[in-house]
Structure 1
Amino acid sequence: MAERSRGRDALLLLPAIPAVALLATPWLPFVDTAKLWLGLPSMMVWPSIWVFLIVPALAAVEWGRTRHLDAERAEPDAGRGGRSGPGGLGGPAGPNGAEEAGA
């Protein structure tokens, strides 16, 4: 269990890398120059790269956050044969979500 929480904690720190890179942009000497990178100002390319990299970092955090919840939800339903409740296959709930009297 402790190993899982350490892995989740590491995932939570993952978006900090692009965030620090974005915040440090004006003070990085190789970015704050008059040179062009790929025909664009370096001050435009550097943040663009990190903005594109922050999306998978946030996706990894979301995946790590919900991965264990999905596993816990799947275990109790395994014995029932499917979802329960309105629209589900295995529950006694009626159309308004309450249990039916005859069930």
Structure 2
Amino acid sequence: MKKKVYVETAKTKIVSLSLNTKIVKRCRFRKMGYVLRVRFAAFFAGAAVASAGGLYLLHKDYQTAHHSISQQMNGVYESLNGRISALERLKEADAAKHVEATE
């Protein structure tokens, strides 16, 4: 009978050892999973910050280009408006001369 008890205790010890090693392995995978999650979180946080910075620079570049084109168009508009005003003055002067000549 004592042999049976000894065998049972030996089996239970082996089982408990194998369970403990599985637990240890699971803990290692959990720690590895935690490190992997931290690395992924850091990677995606860095990617988000980099994309936000890139979008900010693109937006600023877009605003600068828009302002430059707007200034060019204002210059063209003022130049064209001045030319039209000069032509209208010439037309009025010619019309006044034409009216005086007919009287």
**Which TM-score tier does this pair reach, normalised by the shorter chain?**
0.3 to 0.5
Structure with greater helix percent:
2
Report which of the two structures shows the higher radius of gyration computed on alpha carbons. Answer: 2
The structure showing larger relative contact order (alpha-carbon pairs under 8 Å, at least 6 residues apart) is 1
So what's the TM-score if we normalise by structure 1?
0.36
